[in-house]
Structure 1
């Protein structure tokens, strides 16, 4: 199975601070760094490092060659990426001393991913291949529809959760990858009511499978037939940026290679745990060998 990720490509401008800036306040950053990021790029790299044949579709601006190079160096096929005029997408990220983050996204070239482009790229894929989508580029609903016409599997990470998702036929999705906030928003339930989220989502989308990540508590997989839970792995937190994307890529890689859902969860949780121990989003994604060495020590 090949995986096509139609997703964002961002330059992450990261500011290390003692604490997050408050309204009307000016603070001095302890450090400034730039990293390659974007949920699309991160998830493609995680998929490729987990051993899946991964293709990235998306757009960069005149400042985006570093983003393409990082994907290529990580084993991702990049020949379908568009090179456009203007700036690439970028993110402004604060990381505090506890390793928590908050993020502002600027769309840049990501906002120019057109229906025509998506249609042309999807024609290169076959029944049984998977398309992965997030909510940082436009026309994701169109991508779901066209992928289903080609009998592809559709995986969706609805992040950031906003009104654009209302324009998508989520009944087309085979795999939802969600955190508590996203799961609660889709289900119309409190993010703390995990059981309520499970019940509501399986009622709303009975043909889909769901993964709900719970931070340091681990993750749960569920559909109308089965449920699997995986506890989190305790590690020192350096930077949580990209940990969810690492989990997503490793989980879907397990699905693509035919692993059981329980094993997919176990590997993905360990990869996500390793990611929080490193600085940067894409830079923190572990190699497959690291993940299995970590699991072997548990």
Structure 2
């Protein structure tokens, strides 16, 4: 592989303060750095959603590592606020202040008792408190859902009414809360489900005073059999164009992040059928439009195929975008 000077790698991302590149497909990292055994990595897919003026709902998924996990610790800043079992992947952090900014991270604990690295930091601001509000929101209406492949479903509902405003919507599988989205959203994509499995979902609305609505009507869905990812997890509006600059050609990519109900912290870019790079965002992944540019050589008339896929909130990889073909020098 041709080694490119750092100045020729031109990552660009709309709405992202820091963009980190992990070049995996071209062999830039040698096997000399392999660990002697299984290493506990950080939890993935971490999200934080204000549930009320004094609570935040934190969710995550298990690390992508081969070693056993025996528990999790949730941190607010540098202070540990929750210690949980390995089976728990979400928690409500209570006793917070209204109109306050918080940062959360999650760490996994291995079977030897040691803690793995901290997850990426997620930030959230609690809303203003609503005094003397004893009225719960009305139930969310018209809950409907669609199966999206073997491991995901999408839900949508009609917004609930509340005299002070809805802060969040909680999604329940049976009687267990499994997901939460902001009060301005009326849809969610649930990933990490089992193929060929029947599920029952309901949604409840929550206001700033922590009043919770009655549950919506239930929607029953059965995921498809097999291992395919549904198209709803793929990046949308994907485009690829070649441009010439400083005597070389670059590939400019643009897309819209899939609506997963959480951040899409990383994307894998495939060039000519092989993974070329993994693009990882730091503190803030783009919510909608994203762009990325990288060096592809100096030869005019070279034909390339490119596609990408995003990392879902559960840490798995979603469906690929449509594959685009570009020719340098045209």
TM-score by length of 2: 0.26
Specify which structure has the higher proportion of helix: 1
* Structure of greater Rg: 2
Which one scores higher on RCO, CA 8 angstroms, separation ≥ 6? 2
- Structure number having the greater strand percentage: 2
